[in-house]
Amino acid sequence: MKRQFPMNCGLAAIFALAQATASAAAEPDPRIAGALREISSSRIQADIAALVGFGTRSTLSAQDPASIAAGRGIGAAREWIRAQFEQYSRDCDGCLEVRVDSYTQPPGERVATPTVISNVYAVLKGTDAGATPRIVLVTGHYDSRNSDNEDITHDAPGANDDASGVAVSLECARVLSRLKFPGTIIFLAVAGEEQGLYGSAYFARRAREQQWNIEAALNDDIVGGNRSAEQDTRVVRVFSAGDNDSPSRQLARYVAETGDQYPSTVKPLLVFRADRYLRGGDHTSFNEKGYAAVRFTEYREDYNRQHQTVRTEGGIAYGDLPEHVDVDYVAAVARLNAAALANIAAAPAPPSHVSILTARLENDTTLEWQPAANASGYEVLWRATTSPTWEHAQDVGARTRVTLPLSKDNVIFAVRAVDAQGHRSLPVVPEPKG
């Protein structure tokens, strides 16, 4: 029997090889590891304190110049976030393009009057000018709410929901802007989430209209690791929508893998569903436009400390205040995000037109694909059909067609591109080709 790869090699040897390759994949990139070490709990603490300091960040709150000058309302928060990105850009000789993208939301279910909604973001442009810009992004929502979604008067501190997520975007921007990547990274803060995902929906719609090639969107919403007794600060949930091999599910697996490659005090806990019951988030806006997106959220939420007007009632202290946030936990979650962002932006594009040949009954499996720009080689991944994550990675060199002595009926395959430094692209599951 003729096998293209590996020559005269039994199944046991294949598995041994694959596992050797999988452990080699755990070699971290020292540049990325260095950037992750720069992520600072005290910076995150200061970012959250500053955002809480605007009193309310309700999307319906003030954004006129006088309120901005007085430092109260969502307009002041927006200008502060913009100023942070601009400062980081000055620190890297203008490497970030800072944008405020606004539109007027017409009245709707939770918006009584026409309301300007602004997304604030910083773009770290990729150095690879040749290909269609590949984009990976991280987002959090800077709007907040209290018990009454219409209330723009009383405080809505939103320290955990979602100053924590905005702090992740900011801190990723600060540390990763010191590096260069072939792919583009966008650090985003959106508004209108509590009114119905308006800001992210606007962003994702525009991205789709302009054919932005967003390979991955990481949404951090409620990543404060609230200090309730039942909290487990060793894990962060990563939600992903779709079937078992949806692009979002592959992204979730990728996040878990980079978490192993760059160990942090917090591990991703993959949850194979779109979100929690009764709740939604900005990753869904990206999913709806066909982009891979996942949601990071602390392990156990404290409902007395989110979406609550600050008060004490029946002996219970309500309110989403900074003292309930564990900033070391937020920093660890930021490291997971930054590791995934950096790895994807550093990696070659994923291979395209990945096919599994199904024309004949056979016990081997042949896969083929189109070359990816900047790839020095490829890896074939596989796992049992019942396994949640990839179990084996086989280095197949620079070839773009390979036959493995494994039955396609028994496992799920994918192919990913690798560059000379070992950065791995997102994997692509093959389409059957008869």
Q: Which is nearer to Zn ion, 79 or 320 (CB)?
A: 320
The stretch among 4-12, 115-123, 162-170, 294-302 that binds Zn ion (CB under 5 A) is: 162-170
Shortest approach of Zn ion to residue 306 CB, angstroms? Answer: 8
The stretch among 158-166, 174-182, 246-254, 339-347 that binds Zn ion (CB under 5 A) is: 158-166
| Chosen residue from 29, 155, 161, 368 binding Zn ion by CB under 5 A | 161
Shortest approach of Zn ion to residue 187 CB, angstroms? Answer: 18
Q: Which is nearer to Zn ion, 161 or 257 (CB)?
A: 161
The stretch among 155-163, 233-241, 346-354, 421-429 that binds Zn ion (CB under 5 A) is: 155-163
| Chosen residue from 47, 79, 155, 162 binding Zn ion by CB under 5 A | 162
* Rounded-to-integer distance, Cα 293 and Cα 36, Å: 22
The stretch among 156-164, 233-241, 257-265, 348-356 that binds Zn ion (CB under 5 A) is: 156-164
Residue 379 makes contact with Zn ion by CB under 5 A: no
Shortest approach of Zn ion to residue 194 CB, angstroms? Answer: 7
Q: Which is nearer to Zn ion, 86 or 151 (CB)?
A: 151
Residue 302 makes contact with Zn ion by CB under 5 A: no
Backbone φ/ψ region at 187: left (φ over 0), alpha (ψ -120 to 50), beta: beta
The stretch among 35-43, 213-221, 351-359, 398-406 that binds Zn ion (CB under 5 A) is: 213-221
The footprint of Zn ion on residues 10-39 (CB under 5 A) is none
Interface size with Zn ion, residues (CB under 5 A): 3
Shortest approach of Zn ion to residue 217 CB, angstroms? Answer: 15
Residue 221 makes contact with Zn ion by CB under 5 A: yes
Interface characters, 37-76, with Zn ion (x: CB under 5 A)? ----------------------------------------
Shortest approach of Zn ion to residue 222 CB, angstroms? Answer: 6
Shortest approach of Zn ion to residue 59 CB, angstroms? Answer: 12
Q: Which is nearer to Zn ion, 79 or 161 (CB)?
A: 161
Shortest approach of Zn ion to residue 193 CB, angstroms? Answer: 6
Which spans of this chain sit near Zn ion (rule: CB under 5 A)?
161-162, 221
